[in-house]
Amino acid sequence: MEFNVRRLAADAGTFLSRAVQFTEEKFGQAEKTELDAHLETLLSRVESTKHWTEKIMKQTEVLLQPNPNVRMEEFLYEMLDKKVPTRANNHELLGESMIDSGHEFGPGTAYGSALIKCGETEKLLGSAEKEFIQSSAINFLTPFRNFIEGDFKTISKERKLLQNKRLDLDAAKNRLKKARVADARSAVILSHYVSLCLLACLHLKELNSSPPLGEEYVAHFSYMLSFLHVRWLKTIMKLWIVSSDQFVWFKLMSLLDLTSLLLFLNAGQLWAEEVQQAETELRIAQSEFDRQAEITRLLLEGISSTHAHHLRCLNDFVDAQASYYAQCYQYMVNLQKQLGSFPSTFSNNNQPASTSSASISVPTAQAAASLPAPPPSQASPALNELRSTSGTRKARVLYDYDAASSSELSLLADEVITVSSVPGMDSDWLMGQRGNQKGKVPITYLELLN
């Protein structure tokens, strides 16, 4: 118990000393030890890294989960160390609605079948989104969060210790400065006291002599007294000068006995010991400050390794994004092909171009040989005329198409080509020609022009 009380008292004294030093520095009444420029630069770099890491992490969380209520719920589950319940995302909910409506309208109808296909694709998009969010959380957000909650907290702790060591160092410097000033004053007072004793003895000798004190002696004695800088010593000397009574002199001389002289000498020795102790404390404080500054510097220099690690995490995040968007794009391309096979797509080819979906580009289409031909009852008169006459017609390309073999012709959206019907060719295809290039083209990608 005694040890704890002493330790508590020592800690309280240290805290008070730091508080006084900090307050005096704020009011400009004490000197402050400045850190070297390299350490200041590292501290600034760490603070900047912490600021932007938090901001990037926050915006990434908003990107992965735009709903703030869901983010708060996930945060609470994480704080409680519980597993977040599995829930369907927006794509999956939309897909389920489309599939249910498609079954309601009938899978055998064009609209119902299209809704089912769109719903299945939306569910695939939802699954891909979940994989992307999970990958980003593990490979990108977790390392950033580990830096904020781990490395940066360690740096902040060591930086706070460095600040305390600096305050201790400056407080030790101030104590040494004050001790030296007090020691110098003690030496001056002691020298004045010895001078006073000598002058008193000299005056007492004059009193015992036969000649009386003259004005010249008094003036000379007052001149010697003017060198004294201690007010109470001057008062005693003036009493001696103006008094010729030896009894008064002996009474005043009792104040200047050997005990008083020993007290002055002891005070001087105490101040000398105080200076020596202050110098020792200053050396210890300087050593601890230098050691803590080196520890803090080594931790701060590790920020370069943190940047390199975050760069790798950023590459992983970009790769995950690229894979996610490429996967979603492929799902939509496949869905576009499936929707392009429905009869309604071809029966509307004679409508104005503004009503078509020609803005969609399909760079990686597969062979369309399996696409069913539109029923004869729904075929356009222009196509029937083309097949009956075996002539040529101009056609506008609705979508991009990449040839799957050398017998096919690649197409670009909105270009105009020449098409013709070849006897024996599959009903889903026409022969297309662009300049000297010829090849099969799918009729569902074309709009015949008048």
What is the reported pLDDT for 346?
38
What is the reported pLDDT for 298?
92
Mean pLDDT of 1-14: 63
β-bridge mates for residue 441, sequence order:
430
Torsion of CA 345, 347, 349, 353, to 10 degrees: -70
Contact 421, 399 (CB under 8 A): no
101, pLDDT greater than 80: yes
41, pLDDT greater than 70: yes
Mean pLDDT of 172-194: 76
Contact 397, 373 (CB under 8 A): no
pLDDT 10s digits, 311-355: 999 999 999 999 999 999 999 999 988 887 655 433 343 344 333
What is the reported pLDDT for 345?
39
Q: In what order do the strands lie in the sheet with 416-420?
A: 437-442, 429-434, 416-420, 392-397, 446-448
Report the alpha-carbon distance of residue 163 to residue 348 in Å, rounded. Answer: 77
Comparing CA positions, the residue from 398, 446, 399, 444 lying closest to residue 418 is 446
Percent of the chain whose predicted confidence (pLDDT) is above 70 = 69
What are the CA-CA distances from residue 191 to residues 132, 138, 213, 229, 445 (Å)?
86, 78, 26, 11, 114
Mean pLDDT rounded to a whole number for the chain: 76
236, pLDDT greater than 60: no
What is the reported pLDDT for 198?
62
What is the reported pLDDT for 321?
94
Mean pLDDT of 241-268: 53
Comparison of pLDDT for 362 and 276, the residue scoring more? 276
174, pLDDT greater than 90: no
232, pLDDT greater than 70: no
Comparison of pLDDT for 373 and 436, the residue scoring more? 436
Q: Is the pTM of this model over 0.75?
A: no
Comparison of pLDDT for 353 and 164, the residue scoring more? 164
Report the alpha-carbon distance of residue 450 to residue 440 in Å, rounded. Answer: 21
Mean pLDDT of 159-188: 84
Contact 105, 117 (CB under 8 A): no
Comparing CA positions, the residue from 358, 367, 331 lying closest to residue 440 is 367
Mean pLDDT of 36-62: 93
User: Alpha helices of 137-230 — where are they, by DSSP H?
Assistant: 142-146, 152-208, 215-225
User: Alpha helices of 302-438 — where are they, by DSSP H?
Assistant: 303-340, 343-347, 381-389
pLDDT 10s digits, 352-401: 433 334 344 444 434 333 333 443 433 467 777 777 777 788 899 988 88
What is the reported pLDDT for 368?
37
What is the reported pLDDT for 172?
86
What is the reported pLDDT for 208?
53
